[in-house]
Amino acid sequence: MTLFFLPVVIVLIAFSVRIVQQYENAIVFTLGRFTRILTPGLNFIIPIFEWTRTVDMRVLTRDIPKQQVITKDNVPVTINGVVYFRVLKIETAILVVQDYNYAIGQYAQAALRDVVGGMTFDELLAERQLIGTEIEKIVAKESANWGLEVSTIKIQDVDVPEELKKMMSRQASAEREKRATITKAEGDKMAALNLADAARTMHLSPGAMQLRTLQTIDGLGPTASNTVILTVPVELMELVKNMSNKLLENKA
């Protein structure tokens, strides 16, 4: 008789043991009603009358699939993202919503369409972090009623039509040319101002021009191929001629 009951006892013990991992919690239903939560470690339940459902309490990820959205200024874009969340209240997550993982993914997808649809295309490209924050606020408010806590929502890729990409490339190229032209014009202006200051200084200092001339000649170096032509002012030539005539007159 003992040999008959021994296997039955072993089977009942085996079915009554529940080992919950460190990163998990388990919810217990007794005759279909929620009764308690099993924490990590060795736990026991009543076979046949009780059953459990284990839930991962770590941070989970849920992809927001790629979808086409029309921005406020009627630009079609394809965008996707990812949701980081965790179960905060296991009993609420199991009892209130049928599949919390699927539910938060669908809600995040709808929130993404609403937020992007209220922004212009330029705002979408410049404020990706803001988009994630706005979606996070919307999803976090609703998911709190499901026993979930949203850590963050990130926008991953924003794809635009090829024709729009070409237009953006041309616009960026034109913007770079504009900045280059402005920079060159400012450089020319500064050079002109410096030349004007230099000319003013040479005009006020009679020897400045001669020193500059000597510096220029010295800068040419001793290379034989360099030919230096010095232009003598006409007034100086006339002065030398007059002095020569006077010397000839005195000798006569």
Q: What is the pLDDT of residues 150-172, one digit of tens each?
A: 999 988 888 877 776 566 566 66
Residue written as token pair 């729009």: 164
pLDDT at 56 over 80: yes
| Domain range summary for the chain, segments of one domain joined by + | 2-56, 60-165
Residues 14-48 have pLDDT tens digits of 888 889 999 999 999 999 899 999 999 999 998 88
User: Can you give the length of the chain in residues?
Assistant: 252
Strand locations in 71-118 (E): 76-87
Q: Indicate whether 119 pLDDT > 90.
A: no
Least confident of 56-60, 97-101, 119-123: 119-123
- Domain 60-165: CATH superfamily is Band 7 domain (3.30.479.30)
> What is the four-CA torsion angle of 234, 236, 237, 242, rounded to 10 degrees?
120
pLDDT tens-place string over residues 59-100: 999 988 888 888 888 888 888 889 999 999 999 999 999 999
